[in-house]
Each structure stands twice: as C-alpha cells, then as structure tokens.
Amino acid sequence: MEKFQLKNKLAVPRLEKIVVNMGVGEGIQDIKIAEKAMDELGQITGQRPILRRAKKAIANFKIREGLPVGCKVTLRRAVMYEFMDRLLNVALPRIRDFRGVSAGSFDKEGNYSLGLSEQGIFPEIEYDKIGRTQGMDITFVLRNAKNKERARELLKLFGMPFATKEQ
C-alpha cells in the first residue's frame, strides 16, 4: 500500500489462484501416459488434476476431437499457498544452474506464467520412477494487479527469485 500509494486495502494486489498445466501430446496414442502424468501432477500439487481433451480436430497434429491432450489443476486458498511455498523454497533451487525466473513473463493484467522443463525437481516425485520427463506451465493469477509493476512487487514480496539483468 505504501509503495503504490493505495488508500483502500481492497485495491492491494493479491494472489487469486495458481493453475498448473501439463500438456501430454503422447497421451493420444497411449492413455497410460496421460494417466501417469495425472498421477504425478496430483502428487506434486496435492490435488487431483482433471484430464483435458481436444476441443477440435487438428489434422496436422493427428488430433481428433475428444482425445486427451493434457491435464490441469487449479489451486486456491491454503493449498495454493502451500504449493507456492514448496515451489519457491524447495523446487526452484533444485534446478541446475538456476539464476532466477524471467521477469518478463507477465501479461497485460499482471498474471505471471512460468514454465518448467521437468517434474523431477519436486521432492514428491521419485526420480527413479519417472518414465519420461514431462514439463509443466504454472500460472499465478493475480487480482487487482492492474499492471506489471504491481504484480512483480507482490510476487517479489512472496519470495519469487527474479533474475537480474546483469546475468
């Protein structure tokens, strides 16, 4: 409130939800791959994911309408903060040569998106039992952020390790 001279407490930006999305393109041929990805995403987030199916057919990708293409979880309230704490304090530091997350991944409303290349950085997943590495997208949806500066400041106060420009 002090930094942006906000007079009303309700105008302060806040975290509304975290959406974790895992695209599983190979789930088209083998449903077991999609189910395995759903199990791992459920272990990581602590909440059962929903299976996402193709909305329309795309011939170039050999996708027909209704085939499984991914899974997602929407986290809110206490589960959201617990996942964010584990992500920032446990998972991100386990990435090799980690120098911080990109500071330019904000959209015009102030939501922040982060992409991870593998699920093995989370301690809930046993590295020996991973059949294949699977990436995921994590989106932090913010309310009342209005612009990128307010959103960046809120996430910085949560402990988000943004990369500096010198590196």
Residue pLDDT, tens place only, 91-139: 888 888 888 888 888 888 889 999 888 877 887 877 767 767 788 899 9
In the chain, % of residues over pLDDT 70: 95
Q: What is the DSSP letter of 158?
A: H
Residue 167: its pLDDT value, please? 47
d(CA 61, CA 75): 30
E strand or H helix that includes residue 74? strand 68-75
Compute the average pLDDT of residues 7-15: 85
Topology of 15-158 in CATH? Answer: 50s Ribosomal Protein L5; Chain: A, (3.30.1440)
Compute the average pLDDT of residues 67-92: 89
d(CA 93, CA 101): 11
Residue 165: its pLDDT value, please? 65
Is the pLDDT at 66 greater than 50, yes or no? yes
Most confident of the following: 24-28, 58-62, 112-116: 112-116
Compute the average pLDDT of residues 67-73: 85
Q: Residue 73 — pLDDT band, cuts 50, 70, 90? A: very high
Q: What is the DSSP letter of 167?
A: -
d(CA 121, CA 124): 9
Report pLDDT digits (tens) over 146-167. Answer: 788 888 888 888 888 888 765 4
Instruction: Output 120 or 88, whichever has higher pLDDT.
Output: 88
